[in-house]
Amino acid sequence: MEIKIGVQHTNRELVFEPEAGKDDVKKDVAAAIADGSVLELTDKKGRTLVVPGAQIGYVEIGTEEQHRVGFGPI
């Protein structure tokens, strides 16, 4: 699953694949925005992303994809 975070007053968005599941990420983002705390997420490679909750412009959470194996109709 890919996540994009837009930070206020910044031209680039942060794009990464989190280690946590979709529901956990949504809960953490909502808490950071609600109380202005720091959003801290870890990606699949072990890197940590820290964003001030008050500076979050938007968050786009992609779907959790199941990788298909084999051949078949598209």
DSSP conformation class of 2:
-
For the whole prediction, is pTM greater than 0.85? no
Domain boundaries, the chain: 3-61
Whether 38 contacts 7, CB under 8 Å: no
E strand or H helix at 30: helix 22-35
pLDDT of 65 > 80? The answer is: no
Residue 72 reports pLDDT greater than 80: no
Q: Residue 71 — pLDDT band, cuts 50, 70, 90? A: low
What does the pLDDT average to over 40-54?
92
Q: Residue 69 pLDDT > 70, yes or no? A: no
What token pair was written down for 61? 């959470």
Q: Which residues pair with 10 in a beta bridge?
A: none
